Each structure stands twice: as structure tokens, then as C-alpha cells.
Amino acid sequence: MNISDFSKLPSKAKLVDNQASAPFSQTGDQSSRNYKRFRASTSDSSSEVDDITKHDNFFLIRPNLETDSFSTMSPFVIHKNIIEKVPKYKNVSKLRSGDLLIELLDPQHANKLFEINKIGNLECRVTSHPSLNNIKGVISCSDLQYCKDKQEILDECSEQNLIDITQIKREVNGELVPTNTYIITLHSLTLPEYFYVGYRRCKVRQFIPNPKRCFNCQRIGHLYTYCKYEATCPSCGKDKHESDCNPPPYCVNCGDIKVASSIRKKP
């Protein structure tokens, strides 16, 4: 994504994570719980793998013991154990956590993948990835403000695979004002052209998130936890210093005369 892509976001649009003041907003943990409720409400308890999982492409293979890890296991051992159940897959990668991330070519192979309970000498389990099988879009609908609460929307739109909805608020004169724009999270790999709110047909637009910015080096694209660069001042772009910064502001990402934190406002 180029820096110019960030201009597609409203410069002062903000997501509010305080549920007391924003009935449509929620934290990541709450979104995860919504996903689990969605899975539970649409699954068949008599099936080994529910219908929703059969449409997933991304899965995690995790050791049963937290002290175990696939990090040092031979790729040949991993490959041989996987193809015993799934002859063809798209990709497998090792994660920092020590788990395996696998992407299937055909979601219908998920039931076979779930039969894997041991790789090499490690007992393991397979789970659907909690976020990679979801996609976010943006809709505008003035009638959503008349809904009783967020749960009503989630219940009524569950057949469209809706698992989360967040209202965008815009800053006006220092205050956050609700808008008619919402971010929807769908349990799907592709965005539909339209999203239906009762009788209303809403055009679905691509959601472009705010860029990740490292608070250590100020560069975009990664977080502080995984930064490999030297600490940089967010104001002047030089080596980080404790004292107040007086030199002209400088952005290390684009060379503009602005502080790095204003990257989302640039054209």
C-alpha cells in the first residue's frame, strides 16, 4: 500500500472503543467473542467440522503443550505429516508463536485437516484462524441509528455472515460526532457488492485501515515489538533524544515537513 492510499480515509474519522459512549464499537476481545457466538449459532453439533469452517481457507496448527513449538522442526517432517491428510495445500509458514499457519487450496479439505493430531513427535490441534478468514468493508446507512442496539444488527444480519459492526465518528470542534458510516466485519474471504439492512441495499466499499506506525523508528509497516531499527525522534526524524525537539519537523517515511504521526493525513 502506498502512502497515497491513506488519503482515502477521512482525515478526522475515528473509531471509538468506549462502549459506554459508542454502542456500535468494541474491543478486539469482544469481536472475538462475537465470532465465536456466530460460529456456534451456525454450526451443526453433529458434524465434526461445522459448515462455516468448511468455507475457511486459513488454519492454525498448534502444539497441545504451551512449552512445545514447531519452530525447530524439520520442514520435511511437517510437510510429510500434512500431505498424509491433505495432499495439496497452498502455503505453510511458521509463526513467531511456534504455531503453523496453513492456507488450503480448497476449503472442502478442512475436514481432513482437522484429522491431524500429531506432527513429528508433537501432539497438536487444528483451529480456524480467528481473523484471516474475515474481511472488512464500509457501508453508509442512516437507518442503522434507529436500531435498538448492536446485537439487533448482528442477529438480523447473521445470514450475511456479519460478525461485527463499528460506527465511525468524526471529530468536529474537538468532539466526536456519530456518522452514518459503519465498518462491517464479515466471515468471508471476499466482499459482497451490496449489504442488506432490512429493505435497505447498501453499497459495500473496501475498508482501508490506518497504517501501522512503529513508535520506535517511526516507520510505517511494522510495530514496536518487531522493530529492528534505531530509535528515531517522531518530530525531527533524527536520533531519538529526551529533550524538547526544536528543529523543523521531518517525516522519515516521505521526507515531508511534518511529524511522522501525521502520516494518515497526507495526500
HEC letters along 100-156: EEEECCCHHHHHHHCCCCEECCEEEEEEECCCCCCEEEEEECHHHHHCCCHHHHHHH
C-alpha cell read off for 148: 435498538
Q: Which helix (H) or strand (E) holds 30?
A: helix 28-42
Domains along the sequence of the chain with CATH: 10-39+133-206 (no CATH), 57-128 (3.30.70.330), 211-267 (no CATH)
The gap from C-alpha 209 to its chain's centroid, in whole angstroms, comes to 9
Segment 80-133, tens digit of pLDDT: 999 999 999 999 999 999 999 999 998 888 889 999 999 999 999 999 999 999
- Say if CB 61 and CB 126 are below 8 A apart: yes
The residue with cell 474471504 is 189
What average pLDDT is seen over the chain? 81
- Say if CB 8 and CB 208 are below 8 A apart: yes
* Burial class for 25, CB neighbours closer than 10 Å (0-12, 13-18, 19+): buried
Give the span between the Cα atoms of 55 and 45, in whole angstroms: 17
Phi, psi of 265 (to 5 degrees): -95, 0
Could you tell me the pLDDT band of residue 65, with boundaries at 50, 70 and 90? very high
Give the span between the Cα atoms of 210 and 9, in whole angstroms: 8
Could you tell me the pLDDT band of residue 34, with boundaries at 50, 70 and 90? low
What number of H helices and E strands is found in the chain? 4, 12
Segment 223-257, tens digit of pLDDT: 888 888 888 888 888 887 776 777 788 888 887 76
- Say if CB 197 and CB 155 are below 8 A apart: no
The strand ranges marked E within 18-121 are 58-63, 91-94, 100-103, 118-119
Per-residue pLDDT at 107: 84
